[in-house]
Amino acid sequence: MPKWKKGPKDWSPSGYIPGMPVWPEFVDAYLEASILSGDDQSGNPLFGRYTISDFAQEAVDKAVRDSNRFIDKNMKLLDKPGIARSQHGHEFWMARNYHDAGFRDRRYVPNGHILRETAGEFGREQVIVGGDDKLRFL
């Protein structure tokens, strides 16, 4: 997974994202989790064929907006030692899409259920491959 050097300009397709991420590593992991759990329209896994660099700019912008809103709403529950911010991003993707993972790890006790509920409020998303071979959210 690419590491952020200065921010999303290092991998963002257009070099600009409105509203810089609160936690860049959260957004990286969120996008990575969407690829790990996604399939293309033919049912073939996205993992191994796509990276977070393959997202269309509007998808990156949406991931940043959603991530920032989730983090802001849950900062007190998330900003604790012992769990990497990247793990939170992965869990957010899983929880918002009702996968069995998503904030169920014992490290999230006793607040995992609150984080799952909040993530669910964002609604489900899936990754699709556009005609330009760029990844987008549907």
Higher per-residue pLDDT: 101 or 123: 123
Average pLDDT, the chain: 86
Query: pLDDT (tens digit, 9 = 90+) per residue, 44-73?
Result: 999 999 999 899 888 988 999 999 999 999
CA gap 58, 73 in Å, rounded? 23
Residue with the bigger pLDDT between 100 and 76: it is: 76
For the segment 8-26, the average pLDDT, to the nearest whole number, is 64
Note the pTM of the prediction, 2 decimals. 0.86
What is the C-alpha R_g of the chain?
14
pLDDT (average), residues 114-134: 95
pLDDT digits (tens, 9 = 90+) for 78-93: 988 889 999 999 999 9
